[in-house]
Structure 1
Amino acid sequence: MMPHRSYRRVSPQVRQTAVEQVVALTGKLRSESEACRVVAEQIGVHTNSVRNWVRAAERPGLDRLDAGALRRQVALLQQQLAAAAEMNRSLVDSLNETNRAT
């Protein structure tokens, strides 16, 4: 039988402060992951918890976006997808040309 795991509740204020610390430390340390690890050790939570808080703070959830914001987000993603598809076509064409030349 596995032991029962208990999770410590962390207040929204502590989470917000942790996110702010990660943002401040990211430029000073090698990576965001290292910043999350340092902050997690300071407040006694798992690194992934801090990483999840940072991700959640980076962008609002879909349930909090209005219809106009969702349409803008979809339009932006469609533009990015079209640009990526064009880049892929260009790379395939270059590869095919290189293969024909050899």
Structure 2
Amino acid sequence: MNVLFICSRNQWRSPTAEKVFQTYEGFTCRSAGTSDKARIKVNAKLLEWADLIFVMEKKHKQILISTYGTLVREKELYVLDIPDEYGYMDEELIQMLETSVSPLLYT
């Protein structure tokens, strides 16, 4: 299953999620950002690739829907409600991700 994690600039939250969940058997993970300044900017090709999409904040979902419309509406998309206040591989961030994402991977 292809899993895409999205935050704003693809610097801290979504790359951490990608790194953590790439070790899970049966999942291929990538990450991207919604901002023009994102390290890897989300695009239609990434969204088409993804079977499951996790966004860190509600605003990321709104940006995806307004930019990509039906493409996003056809996907399983979850808002994690994780604010932009953690660094890359921050232990608290990892714990939040594992608590919120893991159960959704196996439904």
Give the structure-1-normalised TM-score.
Answer: 0.23
Higher relative contact order (CA 8 A, sep 6+): 2
Question: Highest Rg: 1 or 2?
Answer: 1
Bigger helix share: 1
Bigger strand share: 2
Give the structure-2-normalised TM-score.
Answer: 0.23
